[in-house]
Structure 1
Amino acid sequence: MAHLTTTESVCVTGANGFIGSWLVRTLLQNPRYTIHATIFPGTSSSHLFTLHPHATSRLTLFQADITDSDAVSTAIQGCSGVFHVASPCTLENPTDPHTDLILPAVQGTLNVLQAAKRFNVKRVVLTSSISAMVPNPTWPENTPVDESSWTDVEYCEARGKWYPVSKTAAEKAAWEFKRDLGGAEVVAILPATCIGSLLQPELNASSAVLQRLMMGSKETQEYHWLGAVHVKDVAKAHILLYESSNASGRYLCTNGIYQFSTFATIVSQLYPHFPIHRFPEETQPGLTPCEDAAKRLIDLGLVFTPVEDAVREAVESLMAKGFLQQTPATN
């Protein structure tokens, strides 16, 4: 006699982005889940239906700007869980930081939490970022950064670094909402720089960090770096935090903490024919290395992919999609 599989619907916001696409793919691998996938109106999403043989029957798209509370509510209705991934991200300086980054990050998060409370969603997994942890110039010396660290917003505002401001404001808004209004359980995941194969057609910001590095960029990523992580591990971590009843609070998701110069050296050793800049040893002043920085996730059972494997898969994908020349010019 065949066993019946109990299914549940979960919502993934920003489902057609880099992390969102991998999350959808990973969820589809488990027949337990059907997915409400939100995409920003007018953006490409056809690739989502190529991620699994049953994607067409288990995936429903919702055109939803996350600042539109009604559209967000429509997508979340009927779901038992929400993965809130959507948030504007750019490596460029925004013309209007409040309108372009901060407002949609904060209001989108509040819209999701309000809808989750309204429809009795049991858990929201919030995709925060290491940009909500660093930079934090007051962090004690010789101490590895952990989940108790919060980005110094004033420090970032004074330097025009608006993405960390937006991610910090959004995550703090989530915890304040939960404290004051209750509702669904909230767990936050804070990924480091995500790399790996691109499932979406566009080049995303974290993949562009690797792309630019391989093209000779001298940018140290000082305000945006703790380490790197394979995007498939980030997707697995989201689901692990959703399914682990004892998960709570913040979870750093990185395959170790180390200097960006160390990452550049790893990449240059794998691809010595690319014009990768030789950085000073300390690109992140005062950063204390830590191999098991994501101990909270490791203790839940997450096994991280070696950084070298993540780099190889990312580079192959960047080349295949035409974002990186296979025979770059030398210095």
Structure 2
Amino acid sequence: MSGEGKVVCVTGASGYIASWLVKLLLARGYTVHATVRSLDDPKKTEHLLALDGAKERLSLFEANLSVEGSFDSAVDGCVCVFHTASPVLLSVDDPQLELLGPAVKGTLNVLKSSAKVETVKRVVLTSSVATVMYGVKLPESGGVVDETWFSDPVVCEQSKLWYHLSKIQAENAAVKFSRENGLDLVIINPGYVIGPLLQPSINLTSQGFWSFIETGKEVFPDGIYILVDVRDTAIAHILAFEKPEANGRYCMVGNVVRSVEIMMILDKLYPDLDYSLRYKDKCVEKLPYSISKAKAESLGVEFTPLVVSLKDSVDSLKEKKLLNL
């Protein structure tokens, strides 16, 4: 197994992407140091401790993004740190206090801990497509967005896209710190993540998509969904460590689709749910742009077909009784 004898750290390990990352790392033979906010919260720990290989090779650590040095013990002895933890709030009263400050400070605290440890060969940061394509003029009629694109923080601030701005600021701070302190940093920029859940409760960013599946209420006003499977995203993180040539940013987007197309797929999968009623009067317009898969595929990522991601998403939600269908 590729990870045998190697110790890695996953921050925010109880999260949606991170839970899958821990599962797949254990499956590859890695020993995993996983951080959670509270060791006393079974909703954050039980699903991790139940994973195959957890008994032998998973250690849980309590760590707080806002406390410098909090990650020192979790990072100690690791060859890679996967930093997935970041505050996710879609509605805030004080953006700087609740979201922007904690996102940057948390990232820097993890990187400071990583920089102290000589064994750490690479840090893989979970960023977002939010840092790639917001506040910029998107291409029209078949243009391609790729890793060379950067969101405009000024436009995000003016538009009150605070989550997007927090990811931009955290990514920028990570790049600057890594450059100044000799850390090898690779960044993963996933789109809107879908796919089966490992954790018992639904996460905030996914809630909108599940609501869309249930009610047809759009998550995005333009009806365009930039989707990626959670398993593909987790694998991309691992490959970003395992491949020495990995560098810079990686857009992780399996499909850019209109909501009508999602409804059509769901209608075929679950004909008794009458999804067709939601799209029968709508036509599928050509998408204005696509997002390049080339760099992600060069890592070795094989994207899950959209129909599989959607089916596994719905089946997982039904199984956990999180979807009223």
Confirm or deny a common fold (TM above 0.5).
yes
CA distance in 1, matches of 2:182, 2:56: 30
The 8 Å contact of residues 208 and 219 in structure 2, kept in 1 or not, is answered as no
Partner of 2:37: 40
Structure 2: how far apart are the matches of 1:138 and 1:172?
21
Q: Give 1:189's aligned amino acid.
A: I
Matched residue of 1:48: which SS?
A: helix
Taking the aligned partners of 1:268 and 1:205, their CA distance within structure 2 comes to 25
Q: 1-side partners of 2:294 and 2:123: how far apart?
A: 21
Instruction: For residue 144 of structure 1, give the secondary structure of its aligned residue in structure 2.
Output: strand
Check 1:304–1:96 CA distance in 2 against 1; reply closer, same or farther (3 A cut): same
My pick for the range that moved more, 131-140 or 17-26, is 131-140
Partner amino acid, structure 1, of 2:25: L
* Residues 144 and 287, structure 1, Cα contact 8 Å, conserved in 2: no
Q: Cα distance 1:299–1:311, how it changes in 2: closer, same or farther (>3 A)?
A: same
* Equivalent residue number for residue 265 of structure 2: 266
Change in 2 beyond 3 A, CA 1:323/1:76: same
Q: Tell me, yes or no, if the aligned pair for 1:135 and 1:223 is still in contact at 8 Å.
A: no
Give % identity: 37
Given that 2:138 and 2:289 are in contact with CA atoms closer than 8 Å, whether structure 1 keeps it comes out as no
- Aligned partner of 1:288 in structure 2 is 289
The offset of 1:182, in angstroms, is: 2.7
Once residues 211 and 282 of structure 2 are traced to their aligned partners in structure 1, the CA distance between those partners, rounded to angstroms, is 18
Describe the shift of the 1:274–1:238 C-alpha distance in structure 2 as closer, same or farther (beyond 3 A). Answer: farther
* Aligned twin of 2:87: 88
CA–CA distance in structure 2, aligned partners of residues 87 and 281 of structure 1: 38
Please list the CA deviations of residues 275-316 of structure 1 after superposition, one character each: whole Å capped at 9, or x if unmatched. 684496689x984135xx221111222111101101111111
Helix, strand or coil at the partner of 2:70: helix
Partner of 1:69: 68
Letter of the 1:267 partner, please give it.
Answer: L
User: What SS class does the counterpart of residue 289 from structure 1 fall into?
Assistant: strand
**Structure 2: tracts of 5 or more residues without a match:** none
Separation in structure 2 between the aligned mates of residue 168 and residue 189 of structure 1, nearest angstrom: 13
Larger mean CA deviation between 223-232 and 118-127 belongs to: 223-232
Q: Describe the superposition over 1:56-95 as per-residue Cα deviations: whole angstroms up to 9, x where unpaired.
A: 22111111111212211221111111000001124x3123
TM-score by length of 1: 0.87
Counterpart residue type for residue 65 of structure 1: N
Q: RMSD of the alignment, in Å?
A: 2.5
Q: How does 1:111-260 map to 2 (within 5 A)?
A: 111-120=109-118, 121-142=120-141, 143-179=143-179, 181-222=180-221, 227-260=226-259
CA, structure 1 residues 223+76, in 2 after alignment: closer, same or farther (shift >3 Å)?
farther
Distance 2:148 2:215 in 1: 35
Amino acid at match of 1:111: N
The verdict on how the C-alpha distance between 1:193 and 1:224 changes in structure 2, with shifts beyond 3 A counting, is: farther
Aligned partner of 2:153: which letter? V
Letter matched to residue 34 of structure 1: T
Cα distance in 1, alignment partners of residues 4 and 317 from structure 2: 38
Letter in 1 for 2:234: A
Deviation of the 1:267 alpha carbon: 3.4
Counterparts in 2 of 1:63 and 1:149: CA distance versus 1, 3 Å: same
**Which secondary structure state, in structure 2, belongs to the residue aligned with residue 150 of structure 1?**
coil
Using the TM superposition, give the Cα deviation of residue 109 of structure 1 relative to its aligned residue in structure 2, in angstroms. Answer: 1.0
| Number of the residue aligned with 1:19 | 17
User: Is the CA contact 1:134–1:223 (under 8 Å) kept in the aligned structure 2?
Assistant: no
Give the Cα separation in 1 of the matches to 2:265 and 2:135. Answer: 26
Label 1:98 to 1:286 Cα distance change in 2 as closer, same or farther (>3 A). farther
Corresponding residue SS for 1:16: coil
CA distance in 2, matches of 1:7, 1:289: 40
Q: In structure 2, the residue corresponding to 1:110 is in which secondary structure?
A: helix
Match of 1:108 in 2: 106
In the alignment, is the contact (CA less than 8 A) between 2:145 and 2:289 conserved in 1? yes
SS state at 1:134 partner = coil
C-alpha spacing 1:83/1:257, structure 2 compared with 1 (3 Å): same
With normalisation by structure 2, the TM-score equals: 0.89
| Secondary structure class of the residue paired with 2:150 | coil
d(CA) in 1 for partners of 2:233, 2:115: 25
